[in-house]
Amino acid sequence: MNAMTETWEEAFREKQMMWGKDPANSAVFAKAYFLEHGVKDVLVPGMGYGRNAKAFIDEGMAVTGIEISETAIGLARSELGLDVVIHRGSVTDMPFDDRTYDAVFCHGLIYLLDAAQRNKMLRDCFNQLRPGGHMIFSVITKEAPMYGRGSRLGDDWYEIMPGIKMYFYDEEAVRREFVAFGLIEIARIDEPAHGGVSLPFKVAICKKA
């Protein structure tokens, strides 16, 4: 490998890991919640390069990931050292196994799907919860600065830039979409973003009876 190739690969790796190695605030919240409730294993759809999954692994929880990007999976292995099961594929094609889990955690993903896909994903995740299990989803809210930008595709649904479609939630929308899946609590969490700003998220906490 020559110096130019090595420099390019380092830059590419940094771009792919643009959120750093620390977990999102939502994952820190979920970790504490799962520890309090005795969670032993967690399904993480949209695992990315694993920064949030690692928060659970470091506390002794077993993690199974789902991730569509081969590059992200490679980074999870090489940069974070994650030796866990990762199903490669889209969350819209769940389930990837017939296991059930104590918990499901998903950060910053479901709002990129359309209404039918969001409902299917929630149903699929809920179906893989054991009785008494919990799932935590974080969703971006209408207070985010990019709300209303780009092409309007539907109510609170925008293509904010070419190829990037986002659905923005308020508390009513969270209740409407999650109530059928054991919604028990909604919390607000701000997530750091680039440029020293933060983005407003809501965290939906669900429990399977």
> Per the domain annotation, does 155 fall within a domain?
yes
Q: Which domain holds residue 151?
A: 25-207
Phi, psi of 149 (to 5 degrees): -90, 155
pLDDT per residue over 154-189, tens digit each? 999 999 999 999 999 999 999 999 999 999 999 999
Q: Is residue 6 part of a domain?
A: no
> Is residue 187 domain-resident?
yes
Cβ-based burial of 121 (10 A; exposed 0-12, middle 13-18, buried ≥19): buried
Residue 12 inside a domain? The answer is: no
Instruction: Please compute the mean of the pLDDT values over residues 55-83 and round it to a whole number.
Output: 95
CATH (domain of 77)? 3.40.50.150
Whether residue 121 contacts residue 130, with contact meaning beta carbons closer than 8 Å, is answered with no
| 151 or 195, higher pLDDT | 151
Share of the chain above pLDDT 70, in %: 91
Query: How many domains, in total, are found in the chain?
Result: 1
**Does a structural domain hold residue 11?**
no
Specify if 10 maps to a domain: no
Q: Which two tokens stand for residue 105?
A: 């955690």
H-type alpha helices, the chain: 3-16, 25-36, 51-57, 70-78, 115-127, 171-178
